[in-house]
Structure 1
């Protein structure tokens, strides 16, 4: 059953605020120094960081950053430019409870092997099947008058883009992503969603039917997620079964 379908707001960030200006300065400094970690709270402090609801498009310059630390943020969205962070290995927006979806471009971060995301608040997650907002009459707009196709990077206007939801695995989590598409050919290049999720690109809405899961399928999905987290337990460890069970419980209630 779809739950809590709401409209996605645009223009979420005050780009004239001190918090935003300091964040942009921080990104420029990281780009110049070839730093490997992006941790804005450490630089802005709690008060200013709490006023950040998206990230600057300039994160595209962070070619050497391997880790993004956005733990406990108030972010509502991530810009598509994250896909240009070619060295990114670890993405951590854990307990950022207003992040319900991500741009498809994060799928292009080929070095991204590990992630820590609060999946319970994501659209379409298997724990509560939160509904996907309908895209037909509620297009999501990023900053600027144009955008690029999520597949081929063709520049286009919002009037011609075809926005679709798609769910797939990124890092060690399964996440819903927004794809901006310029053609049917690009739509056909979207990845196949994993089992237990809507198996095709879609526009969302209350009439979208999401997969039902019985108790055993739910446990299987949780176990698959836990094992993707690369839990290292030696076979000869006498606490093997107990450790797996504790990890499973921890994931169920995360």
Structure 2
């Protein structure tokens, strides 16, 4: 898996509390390095991915309220997973999503289907630098445990946001390059749930918002129109005004809403 370095990935193990893990090293945010999306494609033939899909199906069948899939996988299986399957959106009874110590680099927009979610715990998933806007739309989400120093735009370390590519009119939104778009597919507008098609096409933007009672997270919006972008709420003070296309957080103006 690509960590952006010429030497290739390094694997780190951790046996904390008996819950070992194997993850790829992430050099994002290191001084002098360009910040960009992780471009790994999910290997859908890998044992870890197949096991994860089994666990999602089991969770849907037994209507469990906590979903902690990586506890039921080996360290190598966990390392093979860089995203979650879209079927996770069908876990409508899950109240707690635990993704502790994962090798994830992105989450699918379908997490917005987990309407009962109250607690979100991707703590120590250090390669997870951003989240889908759909996370901010979960009506019951009140608690989260996130390694905020690893996310874009964090006020403590000012990790820059990757600059987003321009709008896409037409084309195949089911086969995207995640290194450019942050996702392998866009199936619906993050704001209105409508189709992302026609002459307007896909418009992407960053925005930083409260997703729970405490954390402010960088969210990627996949919008169908400028009207949907204009409907986004204002970020809290101390964060880049939005929506924006990405720029170093150190240069953020304060106190005014930016134009997309």
| TM-score (structure 2 length as normaliser) | 0.75
The answer to whether the 8 Å contact 2:106/2:183 transfers is no
Which deviates further from its counterpart, 45-54 or 151-160? Answer: 151-160
Instruction: Say which of 194, 202, 209 aligns to 1:168.
Output: 209
Instruction: Name the one with the larger helix percent.
Output: 1
Corresponding pairs, count: 210
- Structure with higher RCO (Cα < 8 A, 6+ apart): 1
CA deviation after TM superposition for structure 1 residue 207, in Å: 8.9
Instruction: Say which of 195, 203, 210 aligns to 2:245.
Output: 203
SS at match of 1:55: coil
For structure 1, which runs of at least 5 residues remain unmatched after alignment? 213-254
Which deviates further from its counterpart, 77-86 or 35-44? Answer: 35-44
CA deviation after TM superposition for structure 1 residue 205, in Å: 3.2
Alignment match, 2:196: 156
1:60 aligns with 2:89: yes
1:179 aligns with 2:221: yes
Alignment match, 1:188: 230
The answer to whether the 8 Å contact 2:196/2:223 transfers is no
The answer to whether the 8 Å contact 1:10/1:140 transfers is no
Which deviates further from its counterpart, 200-209 or 21-30? Answer: 200-209
CA deviation after TM superposition for structure 1 residue 190, in Å: 0.9
Which deviates further from its counterpart, 105-114 or 7-16? Answer: 7-16
Change in 2 beyond 3 A, CA 1:60/1:122: same
Provide the C-alpha distance between the structure 2 equivalents of 1:12 and 1:93, rounded to a whole number of angstroms: 20
Provide the C-alpha distance between the structure 2 equivalents of 1:143 and 1:31, rounded to a whole number of angstroms: 24
SS at match of 2:221: strand
Alignment match, 2:24: none
Question: What is the Cα-based RMSD across aligned positions, in Å?
Answer: 2.2
For structure 2, which runs of at least 5 residues remain unmatched after alignment? 1-28, 167-178, 255-260
